[in-house]
Structure 1
Amino acid sequence: MSTAHTVRPLRRAVHAIRWYVRELSGEAVYDRYVAHARSCDPDAEVMTRREFERSRTDAREADPREGFRCC
């Protein structure tokens, strides 16, 4: 088997693992927010990651149906 045949599946696996970890950790949520905000209005001011995460946390804490727990 050539090197190209070995590297391609390895890259796919690394890409899939990275995607899975980002989805599981919630890191991809911010990227989707930015893409959505830019697609709706390219000139709109987009929240920073810190502002976005703070807003997300505040929304979860304010709504008990979201399942927020302090411990």
Structure 2
Amino acid sequence: MKAVAKGLRGFATYMGSLMGADAYRKYLEHFNASGHTGPAMTEREFWRDRMDRQDSNPQGRCC
């Protein structure tokens, strides 16, 4: 039963990454690793910026 639960968690993580659910976490990791001195965007600011950039520069997406 533990193997099934582990498999389902792994699948959910994979699907979340496909949908971009971990984009803010990746942004923070990159922000900290690249040595920025200012404050990082809040999660709300990040998603607003991401949606604005996608709207102003549409690329191939499924929807």
Could you state the TM-score of these two structures normalised by the residue count of structure 1? 0.66
Out of 3, 16, 19, the residue aligned to residue 25 of structure 1 is 19
User: More relative contact order in 1 or in 2 (CA 8 Å, sep 6+)?
Assistant: 2
CA distance in 2, matches of 1:23, 1:30: 11
Please list every run of 5 or more consecutive structure 1 residues that lacks an aligned counterpart in the other structure.
1-5
Regions of 4+ moved over 2 Å: none
Structure with higher helix content: 1
- Residue identity (%): 26
Aligned to 2:46: 52
Give 1:21 deviation, angstroms: 3.0
The question of 1:41 aligning with 2:45 is answered: no
SS of 2:22 mapped into structure 1 = helix
Deviation track 1:2-60 (CA, whole Å, cap 9, x = no partner) reads xxxx42x1342133122123213311111111111011126541111110011011111
Max radius of gyration: which structure?
A: 1
> What is the CA–CA distance in structure 1 between the aligned matches of 2:12 and 2:38, rounded to whole Å?
29
Please report the TM-score for the alignment, with normalisation by the length of structure 2: 0.73
